[in-house]
């Protein structure tokens, strides 16, 4: 009977491969202190958690 241990089967495959589409941002915050508090320099990524949905 052949041994099918996980170490032998999966060691030749990559752990994971991800697809991440390019994101194009057009605006940046001028006030870096505000951007630091928000957590991003891109207004398009500013999606505060309101408990229900994201708002702009």
**pLDDT (tens digit, 9 = 90+) per residue, 40-52?**
999 998 988 777 7
Place of tokens 């870096």: 32
| Tokens coding 37 | 């508090």
Question: What is the structure's pLDDT at 43?
Answer: 92
Stated pTM of the model? 0.48
Question: What is the structure's pLDDT at 3?
Answer: 58
User: What are the pLDDT digits (tens) for 1-56?
Assistant: 555 555 556 667 777 778 888 888 889 999 999 999 999 999 998 988 777 766 66
């Amino acid at each position: 009977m052949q041994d099918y241990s996980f170490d032998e089967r999966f060691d030749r495959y990559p752990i994971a491969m991800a697809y991440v589409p390019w994101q194009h941002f057009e605006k940046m915050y001028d006030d870096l202190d505000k951007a630091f508090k928000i957590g991003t320099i891109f207004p398009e990524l500013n999606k505060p958690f309101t408990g229900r949905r994201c708002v702009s």
